[in-house]
Structure 1
């Protein structure tokens, strides 16, 4: 009986964000720990000023009113999350929760969710979008970058940060295209084409909205099912409609769209469906009104597989990135947000690929795989759309299906790469992509690759190791990447000398400064007189961070400045140096990204002569911890003896 209840709870939760963002294991874990409460009409769940409970709430059935004194602030309906201050900040409740109708409430223990909030950025960004104690927390200023870190850091209590535009900046269409319920589907489509709109509102004789049709409805309900265009629109319209008052706050409008998973929100004179239509707000309008919000960009990506839209959203993310960099928002927050956006694009690309291949390969749908990112995206550091570095792992299979599986996963990898190219990510010059059959292999072959690189560390092997050792699963089965990580750790433990080879290779990076402390610039070619910030400054630090965490047997931390942060904890004697190295890397990431945005390129090559004196000095300062770390590595890995 207990299992039946847990399964029902789980089925309910996965329909509603943020629980819909959880993987199966986390969802099952949360569902098993939930307390179910029944409250009768008139009861009070909590009072304003009360200390927070050890859980927050999601409403299963009934209705809860959130109020401040006698003033109603909001109503909670099925699937709404409230009382989140117990989770986000542990502050006293700022509203009173009163039961308006007999209600069934699920209580989610804070302890069961804190870890998920920490490691699942989709969940963190969802809460950032406004679910805090049943009301939206609106902030206008995101330039205080350290506050922004609260979304991803446990030690900051302010997790409700999100930039919402001012109400005066809301953009929506006032000229709504409307049509009578008796009109045909053909007439509706013609009107949408004539007015170049993506939706039409169905109205009754009093001009009140009774339904809505979108271009998606025409695709999925009409074309896909081949129904007659002569049928009345009322047979395919979405009804009843969700409406809001046109002068509602932006946050109220946006949250209505989020909660009801709407692409279009109808605005009426009094906010009800018994009132004339006076406007319509689309998710595109939201995107324009809230261009600097990561939550909006991610939500938009999660709701489209159209490549043109995906490219446009990623373009807008670049605008957001510029804003963050110019306003000195902390780099770990910036990197987390941009990584999440890139990850969602890859996840949507995988969905597109699998959907396209499903009819031809139905038997492949249940086979475990993992799409992994390498290099800067693997390290969660790809701010700009630089070269792709990715690969694909799939489970070991019987020989009878191996050939077909290899073909299927190669096609899948190629489709994903094509989507990324369409979204503006560059192709890898070295063909280290999932479109290359060499990098689409079963788990056993991947183990062979890594064993060979570790046991026979040639120059080519060390180059491959520097790229592939930073792999990170983006979508698919974690069990495959976990097993591969365990294999790598065991192999390194059995051949410690490999780390010395890695150290020797890391110290081969060209020096950033010459004898007279001038920047070492390119002597010829396209980038003559330019400084290679990647090869001479960033990669040396990334290589050393990777080497050191591997020497400590640490896996699961790929990001360079997070690796230095961890190293500071592991080696307190060098904590200051590691902190300096981490900060230096953040500065280099910021400088490269700004350079790339300014010149519409990768930002890799910088002209020192075009830099101000302060910028030049700041860049030179980042080389100090690099030189000191290289000296320490020389001694620690006995490289002088190693070269004999």
Structure 2
């Protein structure tokens, strides 16, 4: 008997959730296991039957879980060795939602619920395993992808240097609570004397109620007062930085930190309610952050903003990738990760623009006054380019009078080419389709860009819809974003005139095949260089980006490009589907993380991965991300009348 118990325990300890058990608990479970031999064709339990007092683990053989629907039997899962199934006896004791059919002679371990319930209550990892929907056929809570994200972290053994763990909202925020303030009428000399006396680098201007109205720093005194030879009796109100950006301390570290990164703040003022209409209660300085963070986003961005050397820029971007890997391994929120990497990429682009304009200044001095903006497209336009994958970008400039048209086209093409070369030198890959600012087709005045989008909307051919999937996610990196805003307004005017464009876009959004095959296995490439690999981008990520883009366009949403933020916002617009949109956003975050992790470890784009290389939990988590895709496609099919539209 002991030999059998030892063999059962040895098998179970290699499969979750039993791998999370202490030795004593594992042996206790193994002693209670009932071993079942099931012949091919046998039914272990039927859909609708009351749950048995056991749940099951497949030791050998093959069992499929089938749902009987009005359309006929649909296979929901094919159980593999070590899979746990029939868990409704354990979770709520409800009738079975699926039927288990034995496909080939199988050996099954039946585990009594009674012995396992105590473990479920006391072991957080075991409880999370079921809450995250990792058990086979656990369709009732399979969509709770936020639990799946949480599980990824808990099921890992975190090790190594944790000095980069600075994003958590539980992190201690270093705040100066004794903030130096002065009235708006204070002379700058007196303000400087107060700063020297208190040995601080800033002073906050407040009104009679103590509300912050401006801030003055050491640098401001040098640049705005001394360098300009102003009278030292000048009021601080005339030289302070205003309006001020404020937050409240309870916003959490990641929010406060990202605010400083995005706005390039050296000091962030904290107030009671987070607005400039309440009293000052604290101040965060970048100096304190730099001292404690080492290789942090703020340090990397600071380094990029203070160098024009391409070799140095490349090294800093390499360091950003090391930081990215650490964040991914330690389950940092993807909202934070994508925001940080976007800021780093944006600074590189802004520096590239600065270097390129300076290079062309002497030859094209008359072009300085022409407004333009650099557009990031595709994944960078959506703030999702974690890896240095293909560049997709363009230049949009204002229309000029006839005598300057040719010269302007020449200048902006040279500018776009110079910017592209700098980005390539920083390690980004060129776009195979040449959708870059070095291609004259994508360096155009506003009128031509309006014409492009009008043509794509009015005549949505397959080629036009392919362009839409790249160009409709544009984002201005500056310097004149108002041009991009005018283009956006034009696009919505055109869509209003031809609503049927959205039907074509919907049809295109449903063109990607379902990620799961007939037998509910992950669909892999059948031939070619990536044979037996799963295409994360085309089969899982693109369907979600296409669906999110379609739905925000249908609601005329402006200014939200990121896919998971689009789903988050759609949930507020359509409360009936808020849970589905939440799950779709979580699914996309999980897929982004998987792709980035795969790419960093393999030194490539991370687009293709081998499902067999994934652990059981990772593979199940990947499958769980497909469920929102199917549901959203069904909604779009009905909403845009695609059955009728395609006839």
Contact 1:522 1:532 in 2 (8 A): yes
What is the distance in 2 between the residues matched to 1:352 and 1:600? 29
User: SS of 2:528's equivalent?
Assistant: coil
User: SS of 2:491's equivalent?
Assistant: helix
Partner of 1:569: 572
- Alpha-carbon deviation of 1:110? 9.2
Equivalent residues in 2 for 1:271-286, closer than 5 Å = none
Contact 2:394 2:416 in 1 (8 A): yes
What is the distance in 2 between the residues matched to 1:367 and 1:304? 26
* Structure with higher RCO (Cα < 8 A, 6+ apart): 2
What is the distance in 1 between the residues matched to 2:479 and 2:397? 9
Residues 400 and 383 of structure 1, relative CA distance in 2, 3 Å threshold: same
Q: Given the alignment of the two structures, is residue 113 of structure 1 paired with residue 250 of structure 2, yes or no?
A: no
Residues 126 and 449 of structure 1, relative CA distance in 2, 3 Å threshold: closer
What is the distance in 1 between the residues matched to 2:616 and 2:356? 49
Unaligned 5+ segments in structure 1 are: 1-47, 89-100, 135-150, 152-156, 165-249, 256-288
Equivalent residues in 2 for 1:226-237, closer than 5 Å = none
Moved over 6 A (4+): 48-59, 64-67, 107-111, 117-122, 126-130, 157-162
What is the distance in 2 between the residues matched to 1:590 and 1:87? 42
- Partner deviation per Cα, 1:602-644 (whole Å, 9 max, x = no partner): 1110110100000001111110111000000000000000010
1:623 aligned to which of 603, 623, 626: 626
Partner of 2:332: 329
2:530 aligned to which of 514, 520, 527: 527
What is the distance in 1 between the residues matched to 2:471 and 2:572? 25
Residues 112 and 490 of structure 1, relative CA distance in 2, 3 Å threshold: farther
Q: Figure out how many residues of one structure are paired with residues of the other and give that number.
A: 438
- Alpha-carbon deviation of 1:102? 9.2
Partner of 1:125: 261
User: SS of 2:267's equivalent?
Assistant: coil
- Alpha-carbon deviation of 1:125? 2.0
- Alpha-carbon deviation of 1:81? 5.9
Give the TM-score, by structure 2 length.
0.62
Unaligned 5+ segments in structure 2 are: 1-175, 213-231, 275-279
Partner of 2:343: 340
Q: Given the alignment of the two structures, is residue 409 of structure 1 paired with residue 444 of structure 2, yes or no?
A: no
Residues 630 and 132 of structure 1, relative CA distance in 2, 3 Å threshold: closer
User: SS of 2:569's equivalent?
Assistant: helix
Residues 416 and 65 of structure 1, relative CA distance in 2, 3 Å threshold: same
Q: Given the alignment of the two structures, is residue 75 of structure 1 paired with residue 78 of structure 2, yes or no?
A: no
- Alpha-carbon deviation of 1:531? 0.4
Residues 325 and 49 of structure 1, relative CA distance in 2, 3 Å threshold: closer
Residues 119 and 331 of structure 1, relative CA distance in 2, 3 Å threshold: closer
Of 58-67 and 389-398, deviating more is: 58-67
Partner of 1:476: 479
- Alpha-carbon deviation of 1:131? 3.2
Q: Given the alignment of the two structures, is residue 449 of structure 1 paired with residue 452 of structure 2, yes or no?
A: yes
1:551 aligned to which of 554, 564, 568: 554
Contact 2:260 2:268 in 1 (8 A): no
Residues 407 and 57 of structure 1, relative CA distance in 2, 3 Å threshold: farther
What is the distance in 2 between the residues matched to 1:559 and 1:504? 22
User: Considering only aligned residues, what root-mean-square deviation do their CA atoms show, in Å?
Assistant: 3.8
2:604 aligned to which of 597, 601, 604: 601
User: SS of 2:245's equivalent?
Assistant: helix
What is the distance in 1 between the residues matched to 2:511 and 2:520? 19
Give the TM-score, by structure 1 length.
0.62
User: SS of 2:199's equivalent?
Assistant: strand
